Amino acid sequence: GPREALRVMTLDGQLEALLGQAVRADPSRRHAIEPDLGRRIVEALQRAAQPLIEEGKPFVLVVQPVIRVAIRRLIRSVMPDTPVMSFFEVPEDKAVEVVAVIGAPAALA
C-alpha cells in the first residue's frame, strides 16, 4: 500500500564520486562508464536484485543526479524494468528502505 517503504539500492559514495568525475571529464558527454567497471557494477546490481526479483518486490536505484543518465544507460539492457532515480526525485514524505549499497569494496571483489 501507500505506506509501504520504497526499496532502494544506492551506490557506494566512493564509487559515485569516481563515476561523477568520469562523466564530468568526458568532453563528448556520452555518459559512458569504463566497460570493465560497468560490468562489475551490473554484476553487483544483479546479485543484489536477485532475491527481490524472486520475491516480486519492486525496487529503484537511486543515484547522484550527475550520473543518473550514465547508470540508466549502463543497466538498460540487463535490467530494463529497474527505475533509476536521482536523490531529488524521491518524495520527501516517502519511507525509504535501503536494501543494498552497490560497489562497497567487498562487493566488487
How far apart are alpha carbons 51 and 46 in whole angstroms?
Answer: 9
Q: Give the pLDDT confidence score for residue 107 in this predicted structure.
A: 47
Query: Which residues does 46 contact at the CB level (< 8 Å), separation at least 6?
Result: 78, 79
Spans of all domains in the chain: 6-108
Report the predicted TM-score, pTM, of the whole model to 2 decimal places: 0.85
**DSSP 3-state assignment of 33?**
coil
**Which segments of the chain have a pLDDT < 70?**
1-2, 104-109
Q: Which helix (H) or strand (E) segment is 73 a member of?
A: helix 68-76
Q: Give the pLDDT confidence score for residue 76 in this predicted structure.
A: 94
Architecture of domain 6-108: 3-Layer(aba) Sandwich (3.40)
Q: Give the pLDDT confidence score for residue 28 in this predicted structure.
A: 78
Q: How big is the chain, counted in residues?
A: 109
**DSSP 3-state assignment of 63?**
strand
**DSSP 3-state assignment of 62?**
strand
